[in-house]
Amino acid sequence: MTTAVTAAQLVNRRRAVRRYLPPQHGAWVMLLLPYLVGVALVGPRWPHLPLLGAWLAGYLLSYYAFQAAKSRRPRRFAAQLWAHALVAVPLALAVVLVRPAVLWYAPVYAVLLAVNVGYAWRRRERALLNDLASVTQSCLLLFVVATVAGVPPVRVAPAFVALLLYLAGAVLYVKTMIRERGSVHYLRYSIGYHLAALAAAAWVDLLLAPVFLVLLVRAWVLPARRLRPAQVGVVEIVCSVLVLAAVLLAS
């Protein structure tokens, strides 16, 4: 009886946690990679900790805000919105109080979030432009991390370009593996993009070229294989680690 009760309690707790965490496992790589690169390049500062908390809680808050816009039922997500806002807002204010200069990025984020809201309202959140807006938001965090550290944003500009090239390509590649599997047009776009990204990355720094060559090969070869979403995710985690190492080595 005790075991059965304990098992039931665990199931209930898991369900409660899932209510507040979106089933978007691939998003965490996109959220954490620019942060880790930025902190590694400019050196850790204590305000980077509340920044990380505000960044992650802000993502969770935005996810459920988009769900509320999509469903036209904001009350349905009121608990999640309040919970994540109560974490994100105080941490964001702490960062602003320490480094008011981060507010310079607010208008850019506002425009990009407006794009996300527009696509959520029209229930087209899987649109390519919407995904690219989210990628740009993540990559801009590099400049925020630098500003929080009191380092000129230009210091992380090459890393910003490299991560933007990688994450934008990852959007196209993942679409060819899952939602646009079998689409010849998407496959051509993905391969063409990765060829251009390889050239651009080599122009930024030749040390980036080997990794972007690997990315090109995976975009070219893997769509012909029937990989499960979990396998696609594992491949992307490995690619993210390679990109992280290459960007740090090149900087």
Q: Which residue has the higher pLDDT, 23 or 234?
A: 234
For the record, the structure tokens of 213 come out as 């060559």
pLDDT at 15 over 80: no
Q: Is the pLDDT of residue 135 over 80?
A: yes
Residue 229 vs residue 55, higher pLDDT: 55
pLDDT at 124 over 70: yes
Binning pLDDT at 50, 70 and 90, where does residue 136 land?
A: very high
- The alpha carbons of the chain give a radius of gyration, in whole angstroms, of 19
Mean pLDDT within 44-68? 95
| Burial 78-94, CB ≥16 within 10 A → b, else e | eebbebbbebbeebbeb
First-to-last alpha carbon distance for the chain, in angstroms, is: 59
For residues 122-131, one letter each, b for 16 or more C-beta atoms within 10 angstroms of the residue's C-beta and e for the rest, the string is: eeebeeeebb
Is residue 21 scored above 70 in pLDDT? Answer: yes
Six-digit token pair at 132?
A: 């690219």
Examine the pLDDT at 169 and tell me if it is beyond 80. yes
Domain residue ranges of the chain, discontinuous segments joined by +: 25-250
Supply the pLDDT for residue 36: 97
Output the pLDDT for position 11.
52
pLDDT tier at 125 (50, 70, 90 boundaries)?
confident
Most confident of 4-13, 93-102, 178-187: 93-102
pLDDT > 70? residue 107: yes
With bands split at pLDDT 50, 70 and 90, how would you rate the model's confidence at 24?
confident
Closest to 114 (Cα-Cα) out of 45, 149, 65: 65
User: What single letter denotes the amino acid at residue 17?
Assistant: V
Residue 5, pLDDT above cutoff 60 = no
pLDDT over 90, % of the chain: 79
pLDDT score of 26: 72
pLDDT band at 12 (very low <50, low <70, confident <90, very high): low
